[in-house]
Structure formats: C-alpha cells, structure tokens
Amino acid sequence: MQNCLDVLKQAISFERKGYEFYKQVADQTSGKAVKNLFNHMANEELLHEEILARQFKSLNENNKFAKEDFTKFEKSHEPIDAFTSDLKDEIVSASYEAAAIAAAIKLEKNSLNLYLKRSQTATDQEEMKLYKWLAEFEQGHLDDLVNIDQEIREKIWYDNRFWPI
C-alpha cells in the first residue's frame, strides 16, 4: 500500500507543478489564444490533482482506491483546437511562449510515463482505471503540444526560407 501512496504523491506533485506552470504562463502572456490554451490546460491539471487527492485520501483511510466515474469528466477531455492561426502567430512572435510549449511537452511526458507504467503494473481495478484514464488525458495534452511545436517550427522555417535537407 505504501508504494501506491508514494505513486499517488508523485502524481499529485506532477499535476500541481503542471497547474502552477500553465497558470503562470497564462498569466504572463498577452496573447488571447495562448492565454486560453494554458488556462484550459491548467484547469485540466487541477481536475487531475483533485481526483488524485481523493484517491490518496481513500487509500490512506480505507486501504482501497475509491470507485470513480470517469465518464463524467469526458466532456472536458476534448482535443484543444490548437491550430488556429492566432495561436500559431502569438507563439511564433514570442519566444517565451515557444519555450513554454517545449517545457510543457516535458511535463506531459513525465506524467504520461508514470501513468502508463502504473496502469500496467496496478493490481487493483480502480487504480488501473485511474491511471489508464489519466494516461489517455495526458496523451491528448502531449499530442496537442507536439502538434503545436511542429507547427511553430514549420512556420519559422517557412518565414526564414529554411528547410532542413
């Protein structure tokens, strides 16, 4: 059980760091599309943290994971409309936001790796469901961010008439 609690602590820490980072970027950027993107991601990280905290409390007090209906959260689990020209232009024109995208990719990869590993090694059904759901969510975040990063890179190459061979 202690190992499960330790993993939950690590997961809560990852989600808290993600929330704080995304919120800070949203607060510090002036572009509306970038602000919306990072506020959206911050809110989803906060939701994950709340769910993980409930599971931690349940495991700590009852020695088991709580049953959770993840379908009620499906509505917010939609791909970010990441390819608006406003978003690409705002990020390309500001190196802080481009760096934030790169840092966000690393955060999401760390979370995804933890959740995938735990979803494959968990023996409790509720724990397995929790980490599979979180892994799917984080994979969506990662896919969106990688696509944004690729779009930014291609726009920079195009604008500078540079294409690698």
In 3D, which of 164, 82, 66 has the Cα closest to residue 124?
66
Average pLDDT over residues 81-102: 76
Q: Report the phi/psi class of residue 82: left, alpha or beta, with left for phi > 0 and alpha for psi in -120 to 50.
A: alpha
pTM of the model: 0.88
| Domains located in the chain, CATH noted | 4-69+79-160 (1.20.1260.10)
Tell me the one-letter amino acid at 75.
Answer: K
**What distances in angstroms separate CA 78 from CA 43, 46, 114, 122, 139, one per listed residue?**
13, 16, 22, 26, 12
Where residue 81 falls among pLDDT bands split at 50, 70, 90?
low
The count of C-alpha atoms lying within 13 angstroms of the C-alpha of 119, restricted to the half-sphere facing its C-beta, is: 14
Q: Per-residue pLDDT tens for 58-73?
A: 999 999 999 999 888 7
- pLDDT computed for residue 45 by the predictor: 95
* pLDDT higher than threshold 70 for residue 103: yes
Q: Which position has the higher pLDDT, 91 or 74?
A: 91
- Cβ–Cβ < 8 Å for 82, 152: no
Average pLDDT over residues 69-89: 68
Where residue 90 falls among pLDDT bands split at 50, 70, 90?
confident
- Cβ–Cβ < 8 Å for 16, 107: no
Q: How far is CA 33 from the centre of its chain?
A: 17
